[in-house]
Structure 1
Amino acid sequence: MNINGINSNNVINLYSKNKNRVSQTKKVNNVSDRIEISKLGKSLTNYTLEGVNVDNSKKIQELKNQINNGTYNVDAKLTARSILDTIKENGLND
């Protein structure tokens, strides 16, 4: 049976190799992404937001008055067309 002693040079070499590996993994690149919205994109945002704040109170009041006075007439063809369009859009016609 052959028993060898511990060689201190081998131990030091192993620790130094491990130290180099750890220092290499700590390097981090400072890379970041950047996004810019063009002037056209910004103007489209303003365009779409204009239609959001529509005041329908006048139209609603007119409809309420017509219903209360009994002068409101329902267009059956328009109602049927709207129902069919909704069915087609939602895929309920299968």
Structure 2
Amino acid sequence: RPRWKPTPVQISILEYIFENSDLLPGDKDITIITDGLRLYGPVEEVNVFYWFQNRRARAKRTANQDHHPKVRNFDPAKTLEPFEKL
């Protein structure tokens, strides 16, 4: 089965829904969203389900990185610099 490639309009719609909702959409919501997205290109309910699941994971990962700036800005060259003298 070929990988789903959402159109820019579909992505905009999905991002809007994600940013303006506190919860992930349920089964009925996914059906409604999918029907709306089909106006802008091919899409299946499973695509919408996984898009929201992946987007939530990305949001959590980003939020976690914001709390750990040292991890985000880790530079191995600078970190290993003191050991080069040994």
Q: TM-score scaled to structure 2, two decimals?
A: 0.27
Structure 1 or 2, whichever has the larger Rg, is 1
Q: TM-score scaled to structure 1, two decimals?
A: 0.25
The structure with higher relative contact order (CA 8 Å, sep 6+) is 2
